Each structure stands twice: as C-alpha cells, then as structure tokens.
Amino acid sequence: MYYIKFIYNNYCRDEAKDIINRLNIPEHISIKEFNEDVAGQYKKAWMLKSKASARMIPFVTIYKDKKLIKSFYTEVSEVTVDNIQTYINENLK
C-alpha cells in the first residue's frame, strides 16, 4: 500500500488542499494529511519532516508501507500538481 502524506499549516492549508483535490489518485494509494497547527498532528508532521530533512511547508512525502520512497520539497519548488502526478503515473502503477 502506498501513502502520500501532505504536511502543511494553517498559512498554506488552501494551497495544499488545492493540490490534493487536483491530483488523480489511484485507489491503491491513500492520502494522509498533517496540519502542523493542530495539536494532535504537530508531532507526526514534525517527525515526517525531520526524517526527510525538510524545513519548509507544504511538504509531500510518499511511502510504500512504512518505507519512505520519495519526497517533494518546497525549498526547491517541487510541491506542484504536475510533479506529484507525474511521479504517481510513472512509478506507482
């Protein structure tokens, strides 16, 4: 099972939600969202960012089961619908 994990905060929530809504996600991929500004989600969001050395948000990471396989960083402008969708289409069939 594949998981796409979106990490964001209240400041960039609309941008992240727009990306999520525009993606064409196959049924075998699950989306999980983590808002840094929500008390119960902060720790998990921080852990996901730390594992991939991400500093800025939104941040997107893709896991296969519990293994990190790909990250998309805002620092280098990778968090776009086109980049994420292309990766899904080419690698997560």
CA pair distance 17, 56, nearest whole angstrom? 16
How would residue 93 be classed by pLDDT, with cut points 50, 70 and 90? confident
Domains of the chain: 2-91 (3.40.30.10)
Q: HSE on the CB side for 42, CA within 13 Å?
A: 5
Q: Which tens digits make up the pLDDT trace of 20-67?
A: 999 999 999 999 999 999 999 999 999 999 999 999 999 999 999 999
